[in-house]
Structure 1
Amino acid sequence: MHDVELQLLRFRRRAQIALVVVLLALGLLALRMYVLQIQRHADLQTRAESNRTAVIPLPPLRGQIVDRHGVLLADSLAVFTLEITPALVADMDHTLQTLAELVPITPGELRRFQRLRAESHRFASLPLRSRLTPEEMSVLAAQLFRLPGVSIQARHLRYYPLGASAAHVVGHVGRINQRDRERMAEWPPEKQANYRGSDHIGRLGVEQSHEALLHGSTGFRRVEINSHGQVLRTLETVPARTGQTLRLTLDARLQHLVEQLFGARRGALVAIDVRNGEVLAFVSMPSFDPNSFVDGIGVEEWRALNESIERPLFNRALRGTYPPGSTFKPFMALAGLELGLRRPETTVYDPGFWVLGNQRFRSVGERHLGHVDLRSGMAVSSNVYYYTLAHEMGIDVLHGFMHPQGFGQRTGIDLVGEGRGLLPNQAWKRSAYSHPAQQRWFPGDTVAVGIGQGYSAFTMLQLAHATATLANGGVRHQPHLGLRAYALGEPRGRELATHQGTPMGWQSQNLQAVLEAMEAVNLPGGTAAGVFAGAPYRSGGKTGTAQAVGIGQRERYDAAQLEEHQRSHSLYIGFAPLEAPTVALAVIVENAGFGSVAAAPIARRVFDYLLLGLYPSEADIAATALGQTRAPTGLQRLAREVAWPGRPAPPAPQPAPAVQPALVSQPAPATQPAAVPR
């Protein structure tokens, strides 16, 4: 009996333990069900949906770029491309050979495809041929069933209708590569998401600096798929938003004219509206065709551009730094007046040279100029007048006056990669050289800087910007290229540049004295008199000749004895009209000699275009490109009647026009000095 009771007791204990275990297990199951069904319901539902849904990004159409009058500079063309997805191709060599038998494929296109293949992930659809003809599409479409991984895709390809014209300003786009993806990984998540499905990004010029406006907003299509990844139906669509149309301050017709006037010569020109900083022309020669870079440039073409001694890829207007030569003298003259070291009537005797210690500093040709004051010294470009002024001023005082004008620092223009230039002083020389003997600043260094030689080196953008500040009564405006942006629902667009002018605090009588002295340069007796002969407007300027190589004190400059790249540069800065300036410019023609020979004639034709609405004759353009003209020759034409490659932008593919019709018209010619067209 005792054994039975003991067994029953053990049984009850075991049953109770089993019951606790069962209840505990049921509790754990209930808890797990609660977590899965209640707490993680939303997350798990999303995961479940993702197993049968997919999100397909819809990349936006890139915005257009137009000039100030609506002339199309960059557009996106609808094209059909032959593409290959490497992950879906079993035998790539066989596939490429088969395709080459169906449609023409050049060696350059094959090399570009292989390079893109090496840079991209396996599941990316890579272009092999762009711009397929209807005949090629029909041939390929009939054979796609036997070519896994090969497809014909409808794409929008960036297109630059003016080709090489304004290429350094407009820039170009390029395919997104691995380096871009690594850089994008540091972007905020929302910005990264906006580039899903995008193949291209701005690489240079305005395409790069205004990428955020031009790219647009990526949309998406949420679709239901089966286990094989095939789309069954569309659940939701959010359309992409087209990038904004960007209107530039640039005058594309003027840009094209200046490029013709340079011809085969190297150089740069920047023209600015002095009243607001709008850049009217931004020329760097030679140029290149940006269309070559859109879908990947070929190796041979890249090598030809990159290794050319002419350096067509180098933006000389933005990054090229040159000694300013005598174009620096107007700013030195203003410094002398503002600092009380000179008065307009102060005279200096110029025998053609100036001696400091055992150094002899010469004027060009060592001409005996006699007594010169501010006006006459500017007109005939007396070096001695500025040698003595710089020596009296000293380099640190000189640097302190010039630095606020923007010399030796970036202007802040809306382009990436602007050069800083160099405005030297004693501190710079100590940091630039390691040897104590080289670190010492000599009085002769200051004298050389005073006439725009020595260590000084500025960009044409800096020179044009400083000249615009002079012409605008000492009010400085930040130069800019972006004018207005037009988006969906904004038919009037919105202004991009809201920079306020900064007064430099100069005395008006000193400014006027300098501007009138610069006018004397273009009048009879001045170095540019022949260039501006017969001009129906008053203008001011300064010619300059900057040495590309040093010339010894006992040597004479002889261009005929030097290699072409060793000859002096031709420079000119100027503004017009004198009474109420609207435009200022700076131009350099590399290794072309005196400023009045090559640079000033280009400037004269720019002023005629902007102030009079006149365009040179074809013969005059050809002769100017060879440095064989002064004042315009032949019959000038009305600019608006001259045929050229530019065309108005087509209607934008959206309800609200990207560019107002009023912007498409060309500026009417003026019969007298007029304001720069806005």
Structure 2
Amino acid sequence: MPQPIQLKDHEKDARLVRRRVYVGLAVVMAFFGVLAARMYYLQVVQYDYHSTLSESNRVHVQPIPPTRGLIYDRNGRIIADNRPSFSLTVTRERAGDWRGVLDTVVEVLGLTVEDRQLFEKRVLQGRRPFEPVPILFELSEEQIAHVAVNQFRLPGVEVAAQLVRHYPQGMHFAHSVGYVGRINEQELKALDPVNYSGTHHIGKTGIEKFYEDELHGKVGYEEVETNARGRVLRVLKRTDPEPGNDITLTLDLQLQEAAEAALGGRRGAVIALQPSTGEVLAMVSQPSFDPNLFVTGISFKDYGELRDSIDRPLYNRVLRGLYPPGSTIKPAMAIAGLDAGVVTPTSRVFDPGFYQLPNVKHKYRNWNRGGDGWVDLQTAIMRSNDTYFYDLAHKLGIDRMHDYMSRFGLGQRVALDLNEETGGLMPSRDWKRARYRQPWYPGETLILGIGQGYMQATPLQLAQATSLIATRGKWVRPHLAKSIGGRPAVDPEPMPDIELRDPRYWDLAREGMEMVLHGARGTAKRVGDTAAYRIAGKSGTAQVVAIKQGEKYDSKKLDERHRDHALFVGFAPADDPQIAVAVMVENGESGSGVAAPVVKQVMDAWLLDEHGQLKTEFTPTLSAEASPR
């Protein structure tokens, strides 16, 4: 039986559709409500936050590195300046495939594989985001043109104009002024990231390093508006950087050139001080090098030649060269003996050509194997008599010797602003026990009395010890900075003066030094006879290799680099010292014959006018005791 056909309930279907529409509408409205709430939250509640983000995408703060301070010599001649240069920079965040971009740079400019490796190394060094990194310096006009033509292939690459350090005097002040170089990763961690943003170079050695904070200045900045590709559209705000302070040094360019000429291309060191002020007038370490090579990055070849040279041009002999001071310390030893009371001005020692300790067969030879007979203190200085100073050292003893020589600056750093200076070595009982686990022997005291043995000093320390004798014990640290930003350099920790029981002891030593050059039997009489003024000085010889007991020194049997070093220290004019000089000539053998003429040439350049007469400003008007410190 057929089923009845049910008729469609249109009313019911309509109600179902309406319900679905209402549910769908509610869902849509709910979604719109959530969207509106989210928009309200973003647009109103977090307005400041998102407006800042938006502004950061459009506005960038770019650092403006300060101009590095200039460096002058004492007469206003420029030693270190800044010159404009074009460099190629890469901003890694804007370059995309920056390694591919570097490959294109090498192709466009026709550079080498080594250049490509150096570029990548520079890009990978730590820096702030979106900070351009210089990869190539000193661009030529042709290179700039090639970059401009291929700019579409070099995203993130730009040619930037900047000031680069330049040393117009070249090699003359490489060891004193030093040089700047690219900031490495270790230095970057220690630097103020804000003040050094945008700065790519820092002082590496010398004055450039010691006064980095003064020379660098303070960074500036500018707010710039950029497009989506990072191109600057306009500058919104600018704060100018503060340039670094200019520094005037105590060095004199003409005296520096004269000292180099006097050294005559030989390996060695010359240091000239003004005794009353501690100003370093000349500082020469030969051979030298061109500091300009290091500013924008020295090539592997050039650095290898400097590093591997047997003459060690990178080695600062004035500050780091350690040599036995030899007989140059005998005047200081004489003062120590007088003040300690172990000798008197009239004490005499008989010199048969050697010295022996009581009950010891070993003979400590005098340089004059024939002996000088009876010698007193001043004669011993004039003749550089080893026997007298063996006896003095034995009487003084290592403990008092160490104390007195330390007061003269031996075994310690003496300079104010030469941070590369090494302290040298003034040995003591405790030092030997700690170093070798051995006691101190009397024979070691004897050879220490003539500046041999364990004792080591730098030419700067010898110059300072000589200045102390010239000023009768007035301690002023040697320094290179005469003024910083117009302000005079100040020693924050001045050294105490050397006080003696009788100030006349200074005069006895000074007169003995004067006799070295002007006495009838002075060891440097030939040099003194040609001087237009009185010089007080002392020669010295530093052994490079030891010779056996009883053997004579024969330079012909030795390789040139195994021969003795020649030393000479002195000050002039003897009655009113205006300059103190220490000279060391490596393997020069004769202090009086080789180093003393260099000292005199340096003194002549400072003290004499073009007519060979003592300059007016150096004509004595005050007694030495009344000379200003």
TM-score norm. by structure 1 comes to 0.80
Q: How does 1:426-437 map to 2 (within 5 A)?
A: 426-434=429-437
CA distance in structure 1 between the aligned counterparts of 2:222 and 2:512, rounded to whole angstroms: 67
Distance 1:166 1:601, change over 3 A: same
CA distance in structure 1 between the aligned counterparts of 2:188 and 2:88, rounded to whole angstroms: 24
Residue in structure 2 matched with residue 336 of structure 1 by the alignment: 337
Residue in structure 2 matched with residue 579 of structure 1 by the alignment: 575
Higher mean C-alpha displacement, 386-395 vs 403-412: 403-412
CA distance in structure 1 between the aligned counterparts of 2:159 and 2:523, rounded to whole angstroms: 63
Distance 1:111 1:413, change over 3 A: farther
CA distance in structure 2 between the aligned counterparts of 1:530 and 1:464, rounded to whole angstroms: 22
Does the 8 Å CA contact 2:322/2:424 hold for their aligned counterparts?
yes
CA distance in structure 2 between the aligned counterparts of 1:432 and 1:108, rounded to whole angstroms: 46
Distance 1:397 1:43, change over 3 A: farther
- Give yes or no for the alignment of 1:81 onto 2:81: no
The amino acid that maps onto 1:461 is: L
The higher radius of gyration belongs to: 2
- Give yes or no for the alignment of 1:517 onto 2:512: yes
Does the 8 Å CA contact 1:112/1:298 hold for their aligned counterparts?
no
Give the superposition deviation at 1:361.
Answer: 0.4
CA distance in structure 2 between the aligned counterparts of 1:332 and 1:244, rounded to whole angstroms: 43
Distance 1:501 1:401, change over 3 A: closer
The amino acid that maps onto 2:522 is: G
Residue in structure 2 matched with residue 505 of structure 1 by the alignment: 499
- Give yes or no for the alignment of 1:547 onto 2:543: yes
Give the secondary structure class of the aligned counterpart of 1:503: coil
The amino acid that maps onto 1:137 is: I
- Give yes or no for the alignment of 1:146 onto 2:141: no
Give the secondary structure class of the aligned counterpart of 1:532: helix
The amino acid that maps onto 2:409 is: G
CA distance in structure 1 between the aligned counterparts of 2:55 and 2:155, rounded to whole angstroms: 29
- Give yes or no for the alignment of 1:296 onto 2:297: yes
Distance 1:42 1:327, change over 3 A: farther
Does the 8 Å CA contact 1:86/1:92 hold for their aligned counterparts?
no
Give the superposition deviation at 1:582.
Answer: 1.8
Give the superposition deviation at 1:98.
Answer: 2.9
The amino acid that maps onto 1:462 is: Q
Residue in structure 1 matched with residue 474 of structure 2 by the alignment: 475
% same residue? 41
CA distance in structure 1 between the aligned counterparts of 2:328 and 2:58, rounded to whole angstroms: 71
- Give yes or no for the alignment of 1:389 onto 2:398: no
Residue in structure 2 matched with residue 219 of structure 1 by the alignment: 220
Does the 8 Å CA contact 1:483/1:497 hold for their aligned counterparts?
no
Residue 373 (structure 1) aligned to one of 376, 383, 386: 376
The amino acid that maps onto 1:503 is: D
Give the superposition deviation at 1:419.
Answer: 0.4
Does the 8 Å CA contact 2:101/2:154 hold for their aligned counterparts?
no
Give the secondary structure class of the aligned counterpart of 1:303: helix
Give the superposition deviation at 1:416.
Answer: 2.0
Give the superposition deviation at 1:350.
Answer: 0.9
Distance 1:600 1:112, change over 3 A: farther
- Give yes or no for the alignment of 1:560 onto 2:560: no
Distance 1:264 1:452, change over 3 A: same
Q: How does 1:72-221 map to 2 (within 5 A)?
A: 72-85=78-91, 88=95, 89=98, 91-92=100-101, 94-101=103-110, 105=111, 109-110=115-116, 112-119=118-125, 125-184=132-191, 191-221=192-222
Does the 8 Å CA contact 1:611/1:673 hold for their aligned counterparts?
no
Distance 1:160 1:108, change over 3 A: farther
Distance 1:538 1:282, change over 3 A: same
The amino acid that maps onto 1:459 is: T
CA distance in structure 2 between the aligned counterparts of 1:143 and 1:93, rounded to whole angstroms: 13
Residue 585 (structure 2) aligned to one of 568, 582, 589: 589
CA distance in structure 2 between the aligned counterparts of 1:242 and 1:92, rounded to whole angstroms: 34
- Give yes or no for the alignment of 1:538 onto 2:543: no
Does the 8 Å CA contact 2:249/2:482 hold for their aligned counterparts?
yes
Q: How does 1:265-414 map to 2 (within 5 A)?
A: 265-356=266-357, 357-414=360-417
- Give yes or no for the alignment of 1:231 onto 2:226: no
Give the secondary structure class of the aligned counterpart of 2:388: helix
CA distance in structure 1 between the aligned counterparts of 2:602 and 2:86, rounded to whole angstroms: 42
Q: How does 1:456-495 map to 2 (within 5 A)?
A: 456-486=455-485, 493-495=486-488
Q: 1:310-337: per-residue Cα shift (whole Å, max 9, x none)?
A: 1111111111111000001000000111
CA RMSD of aligned residues (A): 2.9
Residue in structure 1 matched with residue 598 of structure 2 by the alignment: 602
Give the superposition deviation at 1:418.
Answer: 1.4
Residue in structure 1 matched with residue 7 of structure 2 by the alignment: none
Distance 1:220 1:93, change over 3 A: closer
CA distance in structure 2 between the aligned counterparts of 1:148 and 1:115, rounded to whole angstroms: 19
Does the 8 Å CA contact 2:99/2:120 hold for their aligned counterparts?
no
Does the 8 Å CA contact 1:475/1:501 hold for their aligned counterparts?
no
Give the superposition deviation at 1:410.
Answer: 0.8
Structure 1 gap segments, 5+ residues each: 1-24, 185-190, 487-492, 615-635, 639-667
Residue in structure 1 matched with residue 74 of structure 2 by the alignment: 68
Structure 2 gap segments, 5+ residues each: 1-32, 622-626
CA distance in structure 1 between the aligned counterparts of 2:219 and 2:284, rounded to whole angstroms: 34
Higher mean C-alpha displacement, 257-266 vs 112-121: 112-121
Does the 8 Å CA contact 1:108/1:299 hold for their aligned counterparts?
no
Give the secondary structure class of the aligned counterpart of 1:113: helix
Q: 1:241-275: per-residue Cα shift (whole Å, max 9, x none)?
A: 11111100111221122122223321112111111
CA distance in structure 2 between the aligned counterparts of 1:107 and 1:613, rounded to whole angstroms: 56
CA distance in structure 2 between the aligned counterparts of 1:442 and 1:281, rounded to whole angstroms: 40
The amino acid that maps onto 1:292 is: L
The amino acid that maps onto 1:245 is: D
Residue in structure 2 matched with residue 252 of structure 1 by the alignment: 253
Does the 8 Å CA contact 2:256/2:284 hold for their aligned counterparts?
yes
Does the 8 Å CA contact 1:109/1:128 hold for their aligned counterparts?
no
Q: 1:135-178: per-residue Cα shift (whole Å, max 9, x none)?
A: 44334423323333332110111111111111010101011121
Q: 1:472-496: per-residue Cα shift (whole Å, max 9, x none)?
A: 121110111111123xxxxxx1112
The amino acid that maps onto 2:375 is: V
Give the secondary structure class of the aligned counterpart of 2:317: coil
Residue 489 (structure 2) aligned to one of 469, 493, 496: 496
CA distance in structure 1 between the aligned counterparts of 2:511 and 2:477, rounded to whole angstroms: 25
CA distance in structure 2 between the aligned counterparts of 1:501 and 1:178, rounded to whole angstroms: 37
The amino acid that maps onto 1:505 is: E
Does the 8 Å CA contact 1:110/1:128 hold for their aligned counterparts?
no
